[in-house]
Amino acid sequence: MSQHDISRVQRFDHPGRGRERARPVPKGRQVDPSAKVEIESLLGAASRQRDLLIEHLHLIQDTYGQISAAHLGALADEMDLAFAEVFETATFYAHFDVVKEGDAAIPALTVRVCDSITCAMHGAEPLLASLQAELGPGVRVVRAPCVGLCDHAPAVEVGHNFLHRADVASVKAAVEAGDTHAHIPDYVAYDAYVAGGGYKTLERLRAGDLTVDDVLQVLDDGSLRGLGGAGFPTGRKWRSVRGEPGPRLMAVNGDEGEPGTFKDQLYLNTDPHRFLEGTLIGAHVVEAEDVYLYIRDEYPIAREILAREIAKLPPGGPRLHLRRGAGAYICGEESSLIESLEGKRGLPRHKPPFPFQVGLFGRPTLINNVETLFWVRDLIERGAEWWKSHGANGRVGLRSYSVSGRVKEPGVKLAPAGITVQALIDEHCGGMAEGHSFAAYLPGGASGGILPAAMGDIPLDFGTLEKYGCFIGSAAVVILSDKDDVQGAALNLMRFFEDESCGQCTPCRSGTQKARMLMENGVWDTELLGDLSQCMRDASICGLGQAASNPLTSVIKYFPDLFPTPRPMAAE
């Protein structure tokens, strides 16, 4: 009998036969001892609870500049999770650089060039190519979706330092100087905010001088709506959550990833306590003992400011948990945001149940956008009539329009709800950029559709654009000129949706890919694209797939001169 046969017999023979039983070999991936020591040291006394998985992945990424398979295995062991569960979460998010076994290490410095619509209009593609050719081997240059600096296009991120109106020279200078950290601007800090009357409204509410019913009534009377895109009445949402049995939670959606949108970032970076006071008022109304602030990873300045200022808040009130996104546009969808807060992939949930019924950790959860909460204090203190005194063309309130593209003065424009795009350009943006004539616009960011300048008299607000196949969303207005390619703009947006699809449902996962491929052809097959768009709208799980074709269908419908031999679209 060979030695191999003897070993086989010893291994599988019955232990009662008197022969020595071979030592069992454990199955599955083995934890690297050195990686285990590193992860234990890195996490220290931090909790190993399941919902902190993404926070711990960030810690590894920040420390080592990448996440190795060995570190993933050690983290899984430390958190008592399956390796597959940790791996699938890490690889879902774009900002985690997972290095598989046998792969080359990632360069120490990553430069991200935004290639979303406004940056593309301002030369992002040639800038990307030049940087990839000219920066050294120790630098990785990659394209990135919108980083919220559309009014400073093209935007480039060197490490975590964001360069405005970047060019090759400015990027090279930042790389050579090692200028890779976010620069914190001046903002209204805690002492200044309190000196200006801040937190008085919250104190009155907690003391009982201002009742919950008073707050809800002013929200109703002022018709404040969700300003993240959905436009749901704020007072009604707060009542719905309050009507569910406790314990209840609150989550803030600061994942402002819609290309063309940057209003939330402005408010977080300049007046964070006005937002925090609105948040704490909302938490008091729904009796939430824990509030989760989910801020996108592309906003390191906002996260740093919030971390500083939350630490200054006096004791009492709900616990505030600052959580960090990881580069996934889909997490702006409320149920995906909940999944991410729980430390999982950001896959949308089927509804019902809705988050106000079964939300974060299975509890009733109030979810609000940053800007919605930003206005709560002012609305209570100034009254519903103050809010309603603003508005144009029969609409009510104020809107923060993120305006970018071919205008002289892009930026966040606080203007009456219902203003037209032409008035927005003329009265708030200094007119069109030199040498450009107004040709088209996006009224609501990447998913809000594209309209011609001839339709520039439509009031920009909830409910005014839907009949044209568009919507206001988060009020991201991108202005295109006669020098821009409208079909190219729609293609840029479809590439974005293809890249950002979570992949859970086929209509979105495959539909965005097929639409992009058809749009890349010289001549669009409008009939086939219309059928595909209808399928995506009807069958996708969430708003990403349902709205991804809006730019495509609106270009076909409202720019007929681009299609010399048009074919009829499928009925909407």
Q: Are 117 and 446 in contact (CB under 8 A)?
A: yes
Mean pLDDT of 54-63: 98
> What's residue 136's pLDDT?
83
The enclosing H or E element of 402 equals strand 398-405
Q: How many CA atoms lie within 13 A of 87 on its CB side?
A: 11
Rounded distance, CA 493 to CA 121, Å? Answer: 12
Cβ-Cβ contacts under 8 Å for 208 (sequence gap 6 or more): none
Determine the distance from the C-alpha atom of residue 407 to the mean position of all C-alpha atoms in its chain, rounded to a whole number: 25
Model confidence at 26, pLDDT cuts 50, 70, 90, reads low
Higher pLDDT, 479 or 571: 479
Model confidence at 104, pLDDT cuts 50, 70, 90, reads confident
Model confidence at 23, pLDDT cuts 50, 70, 90, reads low
Model confidence at 150, pLDDT cuts 50, 70, 90, reads very high
Q: Is the dihedral of CA 454, 460, 466, 472 positive or negative?
A: positive
Mean pLDDT of 9-34: 59
DSSP state, residue 410: -
> What's residue 24's pLDDT?
60
Model confidence at 9, pLDDT cuts 50, 70, 90, reads very low
Domains and CATH numbers, the chain: 33-99 (1.10.10), 109-177 (3.40.30.10), 190-380 (3.40.50.11540), 398-484 (3.10.20.600), 487-562 (1.20.1440.230)
Q: What is the mean pLDDT of the chain?
A: 93
Nearest residue to 299 via CA among 53, 465, 134, 95: 95
- Check whether 560 has a pLDDT greater than 90: yes
> What's residue 160's pLDDT?
93
Rounded distance, CA 489 to CA 13, Å? Answer: 70
In angstroms, the Cα distances linking 433 to 371, 404, 479, 485 are: 28, 11, 10, 16
Model confidence at 572, pLDDT cuts 50, 70, 90, reads very low
- Check whether 535 has a pLDDT greater than 80: yes
What pTM was estimated for this model as a whole?
Answer: 0.92
- Check whether 30 has a pLDDT greater than 50: yes
List pLDDT tens digits, range 290-343: 999 999 999 999 999 999 999 999 999 999 999 999 999 999 999 999 999 999
In angstroms, the Cα distances linking 482 to 120, 127, 320, 426 are: 16, 22, 48, 17
Rounded distance, CA 559 to CA 487, Å? Answer: 9
Q: Are 174 and 157 in contact (CB under 8 A)?
A: no
Rounded distance, CA 412 to CA 264, Å? Answer: 9
Model confidence at 5, pLDDT cuts 50, 70, 90, reads very low
Three-state secondary structure of 260-294: CCCHHHHHHHHCHHHHHHHHHHHHHHHCEEEEEEE
Mean pLDDT of 365-379: 97
Mean pLDDT of 247-252: 98
- Check whether 22 has a pLDDT greater than 60: no
List pLDDT tens digits, range 414-425: 999 999 999 999
The enclosing H or E element of 162 equals strand 161-163
Mean pLDDT of 126-144: 95
Beta-bridged to residue 20, according to DSSP, are none
Mean pLDDT of 504-518: 97
Mean pLDDT of 278-300: 98
Percentage of the chain modeled with pLDDT above 70 = 94
Rounded distance, CA 66 to CA 258, Å? Answer: 26
Residue 404 — φ and ψ, nearest 5°? -145, 175
Amino acid at 54: I
Mean pLDDT of 28-46: 93
Q: Are 127 and 155 in contact (CB under 8 A)?
A: no
Higher pLDDT, 404 or 228: 404
Nearest residue to 171 via CA among 231, 130, 228, 123: 130
pLDDT-wise least confident of 408-412, 435-439, 563-567: 563-567
Which two structure tokens, joined as six digits, stand for 57?
Answer: 């992945």
Percentage of the chain modeled with pLDDT above 90 = 90
List pLDDT tens digits, range 227-242: 988 889 999 999 999 9
- Check whether 10 has a pLDDT greater than 80: no
Q: Is the dihedral of CA 23, 24, 29, 30 positive or negative?
A: negative
